[in-house]
Amino acid sequence: MPTDHPAPLAGEQGTALAELIAERFRVLGDPTRIRLLDALRDGSATVGELHRAVGSSQQNVSKHLGVLLRSGLVRLDREGGFSRYAIADESVFELCEQVCGGMRRQLAGLDEVLHGASLR
């Protein structure tokens, strides 16, 4: 019977793959990088545009964009005298939606518990 589950992470290849997966989660483990990815959801942007969108310094935005670029989640496009960052791996949004959906369900359950306790 076929399943949708990937093969277990066994052996040397599994160990290497687990490291790559862990690195992807480390890259996504920073709130500024998540906000930058969200700001790029609707299209490419310059460092200045992203700096204004996320409310962080240009230096900080540049540092985080470098991490996202090295990880392959964003790409750098040159347009005339400008450099624009864009999403390179759209699958990052699927992952974020999975996490957000889980968080929403968890918060809804907590809200029910708190609301039910306040009615007593």
The verdict on 26 and 82 lying in the same domain is: yes
In this prediction, residues 2-14 reach a mean pLDDT of: 66
Q: Residue written as tokens 């392959």?
A: 72
Residues 75, 28 within the same domain? yes
Q: What pTM value is reported for the model? A: 0.73
Q: With CA atoms as reference, report the closest residue to 76 among 55, 51, 42, 45.
A: 45
Please give the residue that has the higher pLDDT: either 10 or 36.
Answer: 36
Residue 114 confidence (pLDDT) above 70: yes
Same domain, 76 and 27: yes
- According to DSSP, residue 7 is labeled P
Residue 79: pLDDT band (50, 70, 90) is confident
Task: Examine the domain organization and report whether 72 and 113 are in the same domain.
Answer: no
Instruction: Answer for the pair 73, 87: CB distance below 8 angstroms, yes or no.
Output: yes
For residue 2, tell me if it sits in a domain. Answer: no
Q: Does residue 85 share a domain with residue 103?
A: no
Residue 40 C-alpha from the chain's centroid: 11
How many domains does one find in the chain? 2
Question: Do 104 and 116 fall within a single domain?
Answer: yes
